[in-house]
């Protein structure tokens, strides 16, 4: 077990200081937050304490020497969700902890928060090198993936509920993580970022002026191809994306907002025309693509007259609603459309096989699906086909295979599993597809 180092106490939420820092890279004009000193001591037991920010060392492959900070609430749930919260240039993991509400929200909802922390002099995440822009290529994304793996092993976390969010440099890293590891992250939320690959350089520089100024314009297909090239051959579901940007951003200019919308709508195969547009509060324009609910494939929030330092209290709660981590959020929609599931079982003394047929009864293709159902008491999946089934008992999620991820309107896919039982060999009675209830056939 790696040795954790912890802060002395849980702190109150600090007020952010909106400041521009021009002494290093232009990207250093990001949020600065006052953080308490980290007064640390070694835990001989190697047990990560709860309700306090803790540093974990020796968490796995870490080619760029990131530091890992972890927040585990007292009320952590069984098989918890995992949120990666990524800081801005000149910031740190403790700064992100202090400047956002994710720890207090974790106290309420029981998920675990990872705060990666850069050690290079700029304190900016690597979103530009060729290594960072391909799966397992090296640099910061590999270290962050190791942190996620450490948490999922240590806390038996739900691998279908791993999320990323970030501010400025952290927002760019959120785009990179979702491009490099679409099979790891279920969704992301980027505050003042740029598209995946926009900041790419080949000369070792961390800064791409053309991208920062918003002068790099590509077609949606070109942007989508750049993101897909990070993991060649991957055909599984893609993470949903929430985008936030101020119209007066003078660090990562506002045109990047539209380019990100192009990229992620293309990645999801949905129209660039919003399915719905609304104003959740004064000065905000929210557009949703590929769906109308709180968990559409792509959601974009434009803040009129707001600059680069747009993050404020209350926004994290909206992130959780998009991720589906708040218990009060409305049920998500499929991507988009309706569904029907028929289920039959064939049983013997202590075992059974179940056959499930999923039909997309909506008008639009579903690109990537997760079928949720609850097994009757005493049943446990021993193997399956057509999908990956986790966990083996209780509330189960069946995630599509690479060859059946897309369901055209009216199309069906058949999957199934073998299970043990202790007397009840019935099929599940209710199903959800991407979180929305299906009609039972």
Q: How far apart are CA 174 and CA 140, in angstroms?
A: 11
Sorting pLDDT into bands at 50, 70 and 90, what band is 365?
A: confident
Q: Is the pTM for the entire model greater than 0.85?
A: no
Q: How far apart are CA 429 and CA 395, in angstroms?
A: 12
CB half-sphere exposure, 163, CA atoms < 13 A: 27
Q: What is the pLDDT of residues 208-226, one digit of tens each?
A: 999 999 999 999 999 999 9
Sorting pLDDT into bands at 50, 70 and 90, what band is 51?
A: very high
Q: How far apart are CA 4 and CA 2, in angstroms?
A: 6
pLDDT of residue 327: 67
User: What percent of the chain is predicted at pLDDT more than 70?
Assistant: 87
Mean pLDDT of 16-42: 36
At residue 29, does pLDDT exceed 80? Answer: no
User: What percent of the chain is predicted at pLDDT more than 90?
Assistant: 73
Our CA dihedral for 253, 15, 92, 103, rounded to 10 degrees, sits at -110
Q: How far apart are CA 131 and CA 335, in angstroms?
A: 32
Residue from 64, 117, 129, 168 carrying the catalytic annotation: 168
At residue 39, does pLDDT exceed 90? Answer: no
At residue 306, does pLDDT exceed 60? Answer: yes
Mean pLDDT of 35-62: 68
In total, the chain counts a number of residues equal to 441
pLDDT of residue 47: 58
Q: What is the pLDDT of residues 224-238, one digit of tens each?
A: 999 999 999 999 999
pLDDT of residue 331: 36
Q: What is the pLDDT of residues 247-281, one digit of tens each?
A: 999 999 999 999 999 999 999 999 999 999 999 99
- Bridge partners for 298 per DSSP: 241, 289
- The encoded tokens of residue 78 equal 């069984």
pLDDT of residue 408: 84
Please say whether the beta carbons of 126 and 180 come within 8 A.
Answer: no
At residue 38, does pLDDT exceed 70? Answer: no
Higher per-residue confidence, 107 vs 14: 107
At residue 91, does pLDDT exceed 50? Answer: yes
At residue 146, does pLDDT exceed 50? Answer: yes
pLDDT of residue 409: 84
At residue 191, does pLDDT exceed 90? Answer: yes
Helices (H) and strands (E) in the chain, counts: 8, 25
Report the candidate in 260, 255, 261, 264 with the shortest Cα–Cα distance to residue 277: 261
- Bridge partners for 356 per DSSP: 343, 415
Q: Active-site residue 365, yes or no?
A: no
At residue 380, does pLDDT exceed 70? Answer: yes
As a whole number, the mean pLDDT across the chain is 87
At residue 378, does pLDDT exceed 80? Answer: yes
Mean pLDDT of 375-395: 92
pLDDT of residue 434: 78
Q: How far apart are CA 422 and CA 378, in angstroms?
A: 5
Strand, coil or helix: what is 360? strand
Mean pLDDT of 369-397: 91
At residue 178, does pLDDT exceed 70? Answer: yes
At residue 18, does pLDDT exceed 70? Answer: no
At residue 42, does pLDDT exceed 80? Answer: no
Higher per-residue confidence, 2 vs 172: 172
**Beta-carbon contacts of residue 122 (< 8 Å; ≥ 6 apart):** 24, 25, 27, 28, 89, 90, 206
pLDDT of residue 410: 87
């Amino acid at each position: 077990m790696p040795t954790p180092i912890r802060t002395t106490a849980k702190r109150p939420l600090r007020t952010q200081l909106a400041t521009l820092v021009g002494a290093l890279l232009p990207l250093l004009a990001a949020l600065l937050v006052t953080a308490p000193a980290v007064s640390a001591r070694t835990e001989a037991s190697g047990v990560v304490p709860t309700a306090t920010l803790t540093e974990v060392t020796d968490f796995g492959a870490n080619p760029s020497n990131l530091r890992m900070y972890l927040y585990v609430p007292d009320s952590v749930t069984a098989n918890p969700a995992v949120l990666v919260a990524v800081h801005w240039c000149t910031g740190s993991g403790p700064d992100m902890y202090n400047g956002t509400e994710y720890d207090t929200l974790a106290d309420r909802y029981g998920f675990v928060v990872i705060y990666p922390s850069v050690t290079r002099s700029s304190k900016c995440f690597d979103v530009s090198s060729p290594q960072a822009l391909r799966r397992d290529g090296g640099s910061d994304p590999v270290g962050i993936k190791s942190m996620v793996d450490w948490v999922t092993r240590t806390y038996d976390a739900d691998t279908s509920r791993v999320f990323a969010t970030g501010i400025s440099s952290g927002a760019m890293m959120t785009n990179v993580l979702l491009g490099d590891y679409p099979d790891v992250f279920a969704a992301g939320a980027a505050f003042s970022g740029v598209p995946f690959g926009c900041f790419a350089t080949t000369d070792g520089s961390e800064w791409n002026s053309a991208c920062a100024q918003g002068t790099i314009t590509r077609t949606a297909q070109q942007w989508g191809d750049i993101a897909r090239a990070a993991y060649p051959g991957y055909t599984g579901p893609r993470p949903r994306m929430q985008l936030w940007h101020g119209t007066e951003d003078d660090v990562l200019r506002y045109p990047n907002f539209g380019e990100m919308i192009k990229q992620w709508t293309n990645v999801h195969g949905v129209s660039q025309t919003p399915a719905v547009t609304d104003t959740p509060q004064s000065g905000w324009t929210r557009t949703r693509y590929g769906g109308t609910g709180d968990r559409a494939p792509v959601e974009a929030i434009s803040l009129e007259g707001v600059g680069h330092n747009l993050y404020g209290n209350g926004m994290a709660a909206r992130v959780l609603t998009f991720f589906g981590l708040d218990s009060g959020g409305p049920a998500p929609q499929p991507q988009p459309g309706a569904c029907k599931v028929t289920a039959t079982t064939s049983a013997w003394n202590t075992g059974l096989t179940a056959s499930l047929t999923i039909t997309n009864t909506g008008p639009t293709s579903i690109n990537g699906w997760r079928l949720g159902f609850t097994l009757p008491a005493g049943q446990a999946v021993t193997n399956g086909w057509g999908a990956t089934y986790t966990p083996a008992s209780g509330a189960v999620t069946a995630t599509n295979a690479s060859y059946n991820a897309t369901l055209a309107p009216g199309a069906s896919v058949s999957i199934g599993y073998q299970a043990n039982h202790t007397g009840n060999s019935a099929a599940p009675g209710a199903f959800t597809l991407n979180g929305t209830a299906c009609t039972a056939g």
